[in-house]
Amino acid sequence: MSDSAPPEVILDHRCSNCPVRHHAICAVLDNQSSHALSDIMVHKQLVPGQPLWSDKDEAHLFAIIVSGTVKLFKMLADGRQQIVGLLFPSDCLGRAYSETQQTFAEAVTNVELCCFPRQQFEHVLTQHPELEHALLEKTLTDLDNAREWMIALGRKTASEKIASFLQQMSRRSELTRCPNHRPTPDLPTFVLPLARAEIADYLGMTMETVSRNLTKLRVDGVIRLIDGQTVEICDADRLASLAEPQ
Amino acid sequence: MSDSAPPEVILDHRCSNCPVRHHAICAVLDNQSSHALSDIMVHKQLVPGQPLWSDKDEAHLFAIIVSGTVKLFKMLADGRQQIVGLLFPSDCLGRAYSETQQTFAEAVTNVELCCFPRQQFEHVLTQHPELEHALLEKTLTDLDNAREWMIALGRKTASEKIASFLQQMSRRSELTRCPNHRPTPDLPTFVLPLARAEIADYLGMTMETVSRNLTKLRVDGVIRLIDGQTVEICDADRLASLAEPQ
DNA sequence: CGTATCGTTGATACCTGTCAATCTTGGTGG
DNA sequence: CCACCAAGATTGACAGGTATCAACGATACG
């Protein structure tokens, strides 16, 4: 370790360049306190389809998503899958205060992670109540979102599920888009991070039904499918009324 | 206020007689600290069907369930309902750190609540990190449970949902049963807190399908319906294999 | 330019929802 | 004590939405 480059400077630099520094839970830490995290941080890169862990693995990892999309999913013995969470930049990955995982986790796109050993992260949590509070707020929001999705899974029709999903993806993309990138002249456009089969696993239906309903929305002029992955919302009002009656 | 009965004694008495004192999140507080909660506590009684709040109401209440069952549910504009949470003794009721509710809440049975004004409860949370930690652990568990239920809603068949539901209720009743009440000679028995239509709203299906599948389990000898609300599990292994293939 | 992967479209079957009738249960009043 | 009634639960007939199975088309990649 050279005396001309003390670790503090390097570590602080790593966080200050972080694109999610002010959106993730670590935002509540001042530069001083953030060293507690940056000291134990390790960066990791994932390629699409790369698993993070299996559902019965020990939970060693806690991470913050810097870029890309991660899916959390569960599986039945016969292979049926259900995606139970989609994680985007600034979201937390990993179950604090549990020795075991209860879901699978897998990169959907290329992913950059800011990783911490779980137990060391928990140690930082106990020493920084403001960080634990931020994690609580995030977890409460996750629970709200999970419950919001439960009414879609249990009570919405296939077409309502698709419309809700597109709304949700559109809203997400607004948040992650650079504010100066899209002033408002043109229609909301975004890239679906999930393949058709994954959308099906998220919505609790089959790939074929997903495809048929996307086609129907396209034919009806509600959306435009630019290249199969890219969606343009032509009629947001109609999409909203399809996502929820009335 | 008389000198012979200082408020501390009265307040402490209220908590020390509480049946969920050692199971709810307040268990992490010592007798000294628990005064911060008992000072702002109000008891409340509810009858079946009594609403706690509506989904767009302001969130004024935070409470711990002392006895009974509470359902959290969402509604679509056309009346379709989905129960997104069932709360039992020692569970928390109310959304900390949010001004608004995102669900309906309603008593299913007679309910006793230990209530706190939400903002005052939050104040206690900030002054007692161990309480906030307990709430975080509880919220993380709630999130795990919500996700576990999502795969049932999205991917399980009607009969699998019913079997899963009965397993879950059976497990719950074991926890709330007095340990000396049921040594083990006879079969696990419990009372369904929910009516058929409510079970349907929990499982994302219709009352009729619930009824048909309960009948099928009865005819097949997996369960015995003692009085429509009381269920005896005759073959727990078969029930388990019906809840999840293999 | 062939091949593999993913997505779309079609035909059919089946599970579950819908609508309706009947049965059961519990409470009330004669 | 019994008849009556209302609410909840069960059962039946039928229809419709979605899954399943299969073929075809599109796209990316070597």
Considering the domain architecture, whether residues A142 and A198 belong to the same structural domain is answered as: no
Total count of residues recorded for chain B:
246
* CA–CA dist B81, B76 (Å, integer): 7
Per-residue DSSP letter, A100: B
Q: pLDDT value at position B175?
A: 67
Q: Does residue B125 sit in the same domain as residue B187?
A: no
Task: Report the distance separating Cα A197 and Cα A4, nearest Å.
Answer: 53
Average pLDDT over residues B7-24: 72
| Residue B31: per-residue pLDDT | 85
Calculate the angstrom distance between C1' of D1 and CA of B189.
Answer: 34
Query: How many whole angstroms separate alpha carbon A65 and alpha carbon A91?
Result: 6
Residue B214 or A9, more confident: B214
Taking alpha carbons only, the member of A95, A104, A106, A86 closest to residue A59 is: A95
**pLDDT above 60 for B127:** yes
Mean pLDDT calculated for residue range B116-144: 97
Nucleotides of D under 7 A from a protein CB: 8-13, 17-22, 27-28
For residue B93, the domain's CATH number is: 2.60.120.10
- The verdict on residue B8 lying in a domain is no
Higher pLDDT, B54 or A134: A134
- Which residue from A148, A55, A84 is spatially nearest to B145, judged by alpha carbons? A84
According to DSSP, residue B184 is labeled: S
Q: Is there a single domain that holds both residue B164 and residue B42?
A: no
Angle, CA A123 vertex, CA A24 and CA A139 arms, to 5°: 40
Residues with CB under 7 A from strand D: A 157-159, 204-206, 208-209, 227-228; B 195-197, 207-208, 210-212, 214-215, 225, 228-229
User: Above pLDDT 90, what percent of chain B?
Assistant: 80
3-state helix, strand, coil in chain A (%, to 5): 45, 20, 35
- What pLDDT sits at residue B17? 86
Tokens of B68: 């009974």
- The answer as to whether A76 is a domain residue is yes
> In chain B, which residues have their Cβ closer than 8 Å to the Cβ of A245?
76-78
Distance D18 C1' – B240 CA (angstroms): 27
Same domain, B144 and B172: no
- Position B217 scores a pLDDT of 97
- Strand-pairing partners, residue A114, are A43, A64
Indicate which of B155, B199, B241 best probes the interface with A, i.e. most A CBs within 10 Å of its own CB.
B155
Gap between the Cα atoms of A46 and A109, Å rounded: 8
| Interface residues from chain A to B (CB-CB < 8 Å) | 72, 74, 76-78, 80-82, 84-85, 95-98, 102-103, 126, 129, 132-133, 135-137, 139-140, 142-144, 146-151, 153-156, 203-204, 244-246
CA–CA separation, B135 vs B62, rounded Å? 12
Rg (CA), chain B: 20
Is residue A57 helix, strand or coil?
coil
* Pairwise CB contact (< 8 Å): B76 & A149: no
Number of domains within chain B: 2
Task: Identify the domain boundary among B148, B179, B208.
Answer: B148
Q: Are residues A107 and A222 in the same domain?
A: no
- Give phi and psi for B71, each to the nearest 5: -110, 140
- Whichever domain contains B187, its CATH number is 1.10.10.10
Distance CA A200, CA A81 (A): 9
Residues B120 and B22 in one domain: yes
Of residues B121 and B33, the one with the higher pLDDT is B121
Q: Which residues of chain A are under the pLDDT cut of 50?
A: 1-12, 183
In a domain? residue A4: no
Find the Å distance, CA of residue A227 to C1' of nucleotide D27: 10
CB–CB contact A98 B150 (8 Å) = no
Does residue A170 sit in the same domain as residue A195?
yes
User: Which 3 state secondary structure label does DSSP give A32?
Assistant: helix
Written as six digits, the tokens of B56 are: 């767009």
Q: φ, ψ for residue A155 (rounded to 5)? A: -125, -15
Please say which residue of B116, B148, B180 terminates a domain.
B148
pLDDT score of B76 = 97
Pairs of residues, one from chain A and one from chain B, whose beta carbons lie less than 8 Å apart:
122
Whether residue B62 lies inside any domain: the answer is: yes
Cα torsion at B160, B164, B167, B173 (round to 10°)?
Answer: -140
Instruction: Please check whether residues A135 and A31 belong to one and the same domain.
Output: yes
Domain that holds residue B187: 156-243
SS3 for A214-246 is: HHHHHHCCCEEECCCCEEEECCHHHHHHHHCCC
How many CB atoms are closer than 10 A to CB B203?
Answer: 25
The Cα B26–Cα B33 span in angstroms is: 9
B133, B166: one domain: no
Q: Tell me the three state secondary structure of residue A98.
A: coil
- Which tokens belong to A100? 């075991």
Burial class (CB in 10 A: 0-12, 13-18, 19+), B30: exposed
Whether B96 and A140 have beta carbons less than 8 Å apart is answered as: yes
Tell me the nearest-neighbour CA distance from A60 into chain B, angstroms: 17
Tell me, what's the pLDDT at A175? Answer: 67
Residue B230, number of CB atoms within 10 A of its CB: 12
**A8 domain residue, yes or no:** no
Kindly report, residue by residue over A65-90, the tens digit of the pLDDT. Answer: 999 999 999 999 999 999 999 999 99
Q: What is the pTM of this model?
A: 0.92
Tens digit of each residue's pLDDT (9 = 90 or more) over A97-140: 999 999 999 999 999 999 999 999 999 999 999 999 999 999 99
Average pLDDT over residues B216-235: 94
CA of B238 and C1' of D29: distance in angstroms?
Answer: 49
Which token pair is A140?
A: 């409460």
Does residue B4 sit within a domain? Answer: no
Q: What is the pLDDT of residue B181?
A: 53
* Of B181 and B242, more confident: B242
What DSSP line would sit under A146-198, residue for residue?
HHHHHHHHHH--HHHHHHHHHHHHHHHHHHHS-TTT--SSS--EEE--S-HHH
Of B94, B113, B148, the residue that ends a domain is B148
Does residue B235 sit in the same domain as residue B191?
Answer: yes
Q: Which residues pair with B107 in a beta bridge?
A: B70
Same domain, B33 and B142: yes
pLDDT of A218 reads 97
Confidence of residue B4 (pLDDT cuts 50, 70, 90): very low
Residue B3 lies in a domain: no
Domain presence at residue A97: yes
Q: Which amino acid is at A153?
A: L
Sign of CA dihedral B25, B28, B29, B31: positive
Cβ contacts of B129 on chain A, cutoff 8 Å: 129, 132
Among residues A108, A117, A19, the alpha carbon closest in space to that of A59 is found at A117
Same domain, B105 and B34: yes
Q: Indicate yes or no: CB of A151 within 8 angstroms of CB of B84.
A: yes
